Amino acid sequence: MAKLAFLGLGVMGYPMAGHLKAAGHDVTVYNRTIAKADAWVAEHGGSARATPREAAEGAEFVMTCVGNDDDLRNVCIGPDGAFGGMSQSATLVGHTTVCAKVTRELYTAEKEQSLGFLDAPISGGQAGVENGVLSIMCGGDQSEYDAAQPIIQVYSKICRRIGDSGAGQLTKMSNQIAIAGLVQGLSEALHFAEKAGLDGRSVVEVISQGAAGSWQMDNRHETMLEDHFDYGFAVDWMRKDLGICLDTANETGESLPVTALVDQFYKDVQQLGGGRWDTSSLLKRLRVLD
């Protein structure tokens, strides 16, 4: 059993922390909205603290799952940040999707305090986290990954160190780039089938067994056809992630034309009031445009 702190109890963090407690670990939680932390403790046991620093005191591993670059900086290096409460040799595992620059900044700051840092962004959505089968891509030192991997494995289907600090975030960018194109393609295919007078379910039943098949098709086509878009990763968060991808590509001189186009399509969805709809709502955009 390890002594852990979990910072951030949103859609993903709440069940992740729950999996750790169910596995027998000693878990202390922090959440910006105190009521959410109190609700987690009431459901799972453990304890809650008022600041990240207090939650991190004495923890062997500190896991974070917060919103964006600034949120991660604040829970790590703010006046009440976790770094101030962590003991030497403790490791922070950052599950938040942020830019690689922030990851390397925090990695350097941790090393100056003889602490460990892994960037470990996640993929798998709400269903993946609830079932404990996330895909987790990690960057950082091998020794720190080896120590943290058994903890991370509690809520993952696959957990892999890709390379040095920042490699996890760069891999997550590749993941989001791939998803953006896949969801747009699936949306166009379903919309095309609808306009052609075909039964969407019958179409998917056939094409999903061939080269067109994908996780998105298997897990999202039914809700898409039903015009329901509250079953996964929100458009607001996807645009945040795609912005990171596009900024990084600009820095490295790469071209991401499809990603840039789909990012603008998600902007259209936001303007329709769909910022909290899931990413498959690209189909909704096409229907509205008819």
Active site residues: 172
CA-to-CA separations, 125 to 12, 130, 165, 183, 242, in angstroms, rounded: 8, 9, 24, 14, 16
Task: Give start and end residues of each alpha helix (H) in the chain.
Answer: 13-22, 34-44, 52-56, 69-77, 100-112, 125-130, 142-152, 167-195, 200-207, 215-225, 235-252, 257-271, 282-289
DSSP 255: -
- Tell me the C-alpha distance between 44 and 21, whole Å: 7
Closest by Cα among 111, 112, 117 to 144: 117
- Tell me the C-alpha distance between 54 and 86, whole Å: 9
- What's the token pair of residue 50? 């008022």
What secondary structure does DSSP assign to 207-224, as a single string? HTTTTT--HHHHHHHHHH
